[in-house]
Structure 1
């Protein structure tokens, strides 16, 4: 905990501190953050293709809200955006120059908690929690990525107080919030090597509830890891929360698929879960995409890795018309009042992620949507 935040915390009364909560993704947002790819990232072999995907995401996002882009070369990004976006959309874009190892904003950018308290000299109702990102358990270099949040904050582009939590590894893709009392995560990820050892599962559970004061329980899912997933099983690839106690999850019907048994067990676990009111969750099943390979390696294709923004949901598709159609229609059922926007994500999964992994939302201080 940094000294600046510690002084804020000491000045708060208990009620102010405990009014903080981790919003659900479908609540009102101020904007989205992207980290732009360049030739010295792993995107180099297909930089043109991934840049096109980023332009499509930027277009979909700026039709609905603000967009913060960090990039090594902001002038080249500015030119690309000028060719693709309208003047009104361009006005919604903020560009900031800084270097990066990779582009997975979901796991690099801060996780935002909000308070119902009023701003004061010693207190801001938005805190941006800056956790340690260590390349998903020291698999990949992350030193430049770990500096991005501090650089953006010093430039005055984060509205709120940046909290230093670099002593704890937590990736945004590893947790899902209902905005109320429940946090979802996976045992395979949070207990994976090189994260937070020697902490036990019980100690990590307690840590999560202390970081997010509204959370009264953490639901640990024990099944559902995708082949080719570098993250050790991020929850945003298999199970997502939607309004009205709804869970969207990946199911597998092919008994010959290597995922079949693990995802059958995931489905059984979800059926046994209950809300804080003791009721079963409303379960909406998303199809398992047909296997996609890069040479001989299976890639972690999933429709669950969608991004919820103001007025829309951006959904990864995989040029599999029947399964893409079912996924888009199922997600529309969960979000009936939002436009469903499909973006071909076959290039993204070549680096073992998808749309949600590349993005991070900044929730608004406006009253939450339900």
Structure 2
């Protein structure tokens, strides 16, 4: 049986507004085209018209025994949403199936070339975006060996209602429990070592500004398996907004193994200061009998877009890494991953078409961990 928990877009604001065009952010998306990962100015305006009476996160929390596995732990399946960027998604699906995972697609085609029929399942839901990470599966209940879904409030709750409703729909399809909370948390801003250390950026406190920092940390412990919360800075532009559009941790850091992390490295500000600070934080962070082993991988800004190789997906013995239109940088990234993850197959997929929307391979996918 598939094991996982669904993360992100909660079903608590079913307002309309499915295809709002972008007019802000550091990246470039044509108005009326695919929605970016970040929440646009128009969407924010719509969200400000909503009011919530909850002064603290509400909903049913998972029981004791609920655990969120690290992304480098065994994977049963990979969930993708077949909307926009289908050439990239098709390659991700093939690589995921080759690594032994079942491929689940939201509104996908009847079949995907290169994906065996016995490893493919189509889920007939509707969606607003292709960004499965922000409403995808998160964890399992190790005490009962059952699938559990945590449905947090998606940052785009007001204008992406189909995405917002996804967690409990998937839970119902996979015969899983769905636990809801009003805590705003996107899957791209969540990283864990599987032992209760949760890494994210301070943008989580801004999205939950109605709550104190202590209340947010307590909600993370109650709902998504955190024992200790590690909140890092994100790169901000002069207006204090995330320079990459989202402020998500997966845009500059990636846990790739026990006490191992890959962190972006760049000479471009404001990313240089933030990524160097993150690398130092991990180097000084106790892990096992030592500290984290930190591998740096190049990142850069071009025409307002932040290019990162940390936005990758680990599927069993493979790691699927975003590549771009720069063969030399791609090869450097391949070597960095091979150094940090010996024995893994590094699969590069050109993600030039997606990165301008603020995301890449990790943002487009969500792994469903295997039940032990």
TM-score (norm 1): 0.77
Tell me the CA shift for residue 228 of structure 1. Answer: 4.9
Counterpart position of 1:221:
232
After TM superposition, the structure 1 = structure 2 runs for residues 250-269 of structure 1, keeping only pairs within 5 Å, are 250-252=264-266, 254=267, 257-269=269-281
SS at the partner of 2:95? helix
SS at the partner of 1:144? helix
User: For 1:228 and 1:78, how far apart are their aligned partners in 2?
Assistant: 39
User: For 2:168 and 2:64, how far apart are their aligned partners in 1?
Assistant: 25
Tell me the CA shift for residue 204 of structure 1. Answer: 1.0
Q: Which is greater in Rg?
A: 1
Counterpart position of 1:142:
160
The structure in which a higher percent of residues are helix is: 1
Contact 1:248/1:283, CA 8 A, preserved across alignment? yes
Task: Assess, with a 3 A threshold, how the Cα gap between structure 1 residues 90 and 292 changes in structure 2: closer, same or farther.
Answer: farther
The match for 2:92 among 54, 57, 65 is 57
Counterpart position of 1:230:
245
After TM superposition, the structure 1 = structure 2 runs for residues 151-300 of structure 1, keeping only pairs within 5 Å, are 151-154=169-172, 156=173, 158-165=174-181, 167-187=182-202, 189-192=203-206, 195-213=207-225, 215-224=226-235, 228-231=243-246, 233-252=247-266, 254=267, 257-275=269-287, 277=288, 279-289=290-300, 291-293=301-303, 298-300=304-306
Runs of 4+ with >4 A deviation: 223-228
Task: Assess, with a 3 A threshold, how the Cα gap between structure 1 residues 149 and 265 changes in structure 2: closer, same or farther.
Answer: closer
Tell me the CA shift for residue 321 of structure 1. Answer: 2.0
Task: Assess, with a 3 A threshold, how the Cα gap between structure 1 residues 274 and 305 changes in structure 2: closer, same or farther.
Answer: same
More deviation, 264-273/300-309: 264-273
After TM superposition, the structure 1 = structure 2 runs for residues 64-75 of structure 1, keeping only pairs within 5 Å, are 64=99, 65-71=101-107, 74=108
Tell me the CA shift for residue 301 of structure 1. Answer: 1.4
User: For 2:135 and 2:184, how far apart are their aligned partners in 1?
Assistant: 11
Counterpart position of 1:12:
none
**Aligned residue pairs, count:** 311
Task: Assess, with a 3 A threshold, how the Cα gap between structure 1 residues 18 and 152 changes in structure 2: closer, same or farther.
Answer: closer
5+ unaligned residues in a row in structure 2: which ranges?
A: 1-9, 12-58
Tell me the CA shift for residue 259 of structure 1. Answer: 2.9
Contact 2:313/2:362, CA 8 A, preserved across alignment? yes
Contact 1:109/1:130, CA 8 A, preserved across alignment? no
Task: Assess, with a 3 A threshold, how the Cα gap between structure 1 residues 243 and 267 changes in structure 2: closer, same or farther.
Answer: closer
Q: Which fold has the larger relative contact order, with Cα–Cα distance below 8 Å and residues 6 or more apart in sequence?
A: 2
Counterpart position of 1:85:
114
TM-score (norm 2): 0.77
Counterpart position of 1:122:
none
5+ unaligned residues in a row in structure 1: which ranges?
A: 10-16, 38-42, 44-49, 120-124
Question: After superposition, what is the alpha-carbon deviation per residue over 1:158-207, rounded to whole angstroms, capped at 9, x for unaligned?
Answer: 24212222x221111111110113111111x2022xx2231122211111
Task: Assess, with a 3 A threshold, how the Cα gap between structure 1 residues 92 and 225 changes in structure 2: closer, same or farther.
Answer: farther
Task: Assess, with a 3 A threshold, how the Cα gap between structure 1 residues 149 and 340 changes in structure 2: closer, same or farther.
Answer: same
RMSD over aligned CA atoms reads 2.5
The match for 1:21 among 67, 72, 83 is 67
User: For 2:273 and 2:153, how far apart are their aligned partners in 1?
Assistant: 33
Counterpart position of 1:342:
348
User: For 2:327 and 2:215, how far apart are their aligned partners in 1?
Assistant: 44
Counterpart position of 1:30:
76
The match for 1:325 among 331, 345, 351 is 331
Contact 1:223/1:266, CA 8 A, preserved across alignment? no
Counterpart position of 2:152:
131
Task: Assess, with a 3 A threshold, how the Cα gap between structure 1 residues 197 and 146 changes in structure 2: closer, same or farther.
Answer: same
